[in-house]
Structure 1
Amino acid sequence: MPNNTMPEVKNQTHVADELNKLSRNDYLVTLFIPEAVRADAQALLAFAAELRIVQHRVSEPTPGEIRLQWWHDALDGQGHGAVRSNPIASCLLDAIEKHQFPIIPLKRMIAAHRFDLYSDPMSDVNQFEGYSGETRACLYQFIAMALGSKDADPALYADAAGHLGVASTYVNAILAFGRDSSNGKIFLPYSVFQSFGVDDKVILAGQNSEAMRQAMAAHLQAAEEHLAQAQAAIKLLPKNVRPAFVDSAIVRAQLRFLNKRTDNPFLIGAGRSDLRKLIAMFVYSVKN
């Protein structure tokens, strides 16, 4: 057994369980990450999942802002005892120390999730890609840093992480489009809808149309393009860091699913089954 104290093992088990509850996909992804850094990857992904779920745990922005500020203060080392009593925070801080992860990208992730608390639409593609980079791409980059050589330049992983982050965020936003719109949120780039003559009232009312389907097809195409660029970048990376990008297999499987569900963007479904995702990641691991 690794040289962990009992409290550390207990915390890691709790983090894995919470990740499984909060973000099943991310939990499945970590099963294909080498055991030496799996707990650290789970801590990062559980932290990100906690930030994403804040919007669903509050009825108005202020309590959400307070919760996000708690995480910001935790990264600054404030409230040390209370922070360490939170297993996810404790394991995250251990991972940061172990791998010398920079704090600023994690603070930017927290700041980006403040957008979730309000009803403003995602204005355009630039805002969407920036949000994706700060909330998703940095996770892939950090896991690659943990897997890679300590003297490797983190910029080596930037293309793969950046494009996969955008592709993954597109897929998740498309899958959640019906739920989000019914809750008054537009997470996909609103300017794209506008370019097809679809306005926010139509989206929030859940009104399907040919123009709506064309707009969603454009979002799907953007996701496909980013995934293709991510896959090309992954092939250029050292073999030992490629497990950090195993989520690309899930993104590919989900895109195949979505391309067969184009009749009504508001009624897409949950996506591929866990079994199909596991098979896709197994194939990726064998090939990479």
Structure 2
Amino acid sequence: MITSPARPRLAAFSTKSSGPDPANHGQYCVELVKQHDFDAYLCGLLVPRSSRRAYFALRAFNVETALIKDVARGNTLPGQMRMQWWREVISAIYQGKSPAHPVARALCEAVQAHNLTRRWLDRLLEAREGDLGNIQPTRMEELEDYAENTASSLLYLTLEALHVRHPTADHAASHVGRATGIATVLRATKFHAAHQSLYVPLEIQREFKVNVNDILRGPESPEAAQALSDMFFEVATQAHLHMEHAREMLASPPPSSSGPLSRNTITALLPAVRTTMYLKALQKNGFNALDQDLLPRSHLEFQLRLWWANWRGKI
């Protein structure tokens, strides 16, 4: 069972709650995440103070590597060079060196302070590098693998930063990461298509006879609109199933030599809240992932849901 949570206050959502950061590279990471991944920033405000710097270092690394594709769009060589630079940075960090880059320095501190597993950082970077080629996944399993290697890897590292090392927590993180990765792909479908990228598996696109032009310009007929909805439903169903698996595992964890799940497990998995909100909104609008109204206009509801999930210990 999840241990009884301490009751965080709504004041935890204030940016002042983390206090002034004496190290510029730490604050740099916070601002980078706030600018490019505001959902992750809000989740981070509920992370315990002792782990918050590591959390933002990890999320800043995620932002840095995710942005490489956008900067190098149309020319993979600069992206590959930047990925190689990050590969060398990670190697240096695990040799006890601290490269002169704000995110790298913060990541080095996080690795040393929390003994973070290098495999997850390498796996995330490899997935980002593979993504530079704009290759559409053929099967659903390929999309799930991408989500596992990126979103799930980041959650494994977050669990470690919050001092959670438990097999059930890891299994739940795998499912939450896969669900989050799939939902993120759905949320950005139109944006990706406009930049010659499509993450909906090709076999599913072909199964429902969806034309890429219907994604770029919108469906031109009721039949095309229904095909799009059916395709998005098929993909969203996988995300929903992963979320359900994660909840089942957290609600009734199997016996483990690691003992009961830590309260921090839920805090590490708070990205599940946005995923759940998005999937419910997608279902409500008939699985039209191209609807721009699905994208958040206000963060207040998300903040309250984050606080509520953290308070009651359930995602």
Shared fold per TM-score greater than 0.5: yes
The answer as to 2:246 corresponding to 1:221 is no
Aligned letter for 1:139? L
Q: RMSD across aligned C-alpha pairs, in angstroms?
A: 2.4
Distance across 1 between alignment mates of 2:243 and 2:295: 17
Tell whether 2:77 aligns with 1:52. no
How far has the Cα of 1:119 moved from its partner? 2.6
Superimposed CA distance per residue, residues 177-206 of structure 1 (whole angstroms, 9 cap, x where no aligned partner): 111111111112222222222255655665
CA drift of 1:171 comes to 1.4
Q: State the 1:113 CA deviation.
A: 0.8
- 1:93 and 2:111 aligned: no
Cα deviation, 1:228-264, whole Å, max 9, x if unaligned, reads 1122223333323221111111211122222233364
Match of 1:138 among 118, 136, 153: 153
Aligned to 2:3: none
Aligned length: 279
2-structure distance, mates of 1:263, 1:280: 22
Q: Distance in 2 between matches of 1:134 and 1:271?
A: 25
1:107 is displaced (CA, Å) by 1.1
Alpha-carbon distance between aligned partners in 1 of 2:190 and 2:293, rounded to the nearest angstrom:
9
Using the alignment, how far apart are the partners of 1:73 and 1:168 within structure 2?
28
- In the alignment, the residues of structure 2 paired with residue 145 and residue 234 of structure 1 have an alpha-carbon distance, to the nearest angstrom, of 17
Amino acid in structure 2 at the alignment position of 1:156: T
- The superposition leaves residues 83-128 of structure 1 with CA deviations (integer Å, 9 ceiling, x where unpaired) of 6321111111111111111212211111101233223112211111
Q: Does 1:105 align with 2:120?
A: yes
Q: 2:78 aligns with which of 63, 67, 76?
A: 63
2:265 to 215, 236, 241: 241
Taking the TM superposition and a 5 Å limit, the aligned residue runs for 1:33-182 are 33-59=47-73, 60-77=75-92, 84-148=99-163, 152-153=165-166, 155-182=167-194
Q: Which one-letter code corresponds to 2:35 in the other structure?
A: K
Distance between the aligned counterparts of 1:221 and 1:31, measured in 2?
30
Evaluate the alpha carbon distance shift between residue 65 and residue 205 of structure 1 in structure 2; reply closer, same or farther with a 3 A threshold. farther
- Ranked by relative contact order (alpha carbons within 8 Å, sequence separation 6 or more), the top structure is 2
Q: CA deviation at 1:211?
A: 1.1
User: Distance in 1 between the 2:250 and 2:274 partners?
Assistant: 15
* Residue of structure 2 equivalent to 1:13: 27
Query: Which runs of structure 1 show a deviation greater than 6 angstroms over 4 or more consecutive aligned residues?
Result: none
Distance 1:124 1:263 in 2: 20
The alpha-carbon deviation at position 56 of structure 1 amounts to 1.0
Q: CA deviation at 1:23?
A: 1.0
Map of 1:209 onto structure 2 = 225
Tell me which residue corresponds to 1:3. none
The 1-side partners of 2:38 and 2:294 are apart by 12
Structure 1 portions without partners, runs of 5+:
1-5
2:290 alignment counterpart = 266
TM-score (norm 1): 0.88
Residue identity matched to 1:88: V
Q: Distance in 1 between matches of 2:98 and 2:262?
A: 36
- 2:17 matched to which residue of 1? none
2-side partners of 1:240 and 1:182: how far apart?
39
Identity %, equivalent residues: 21
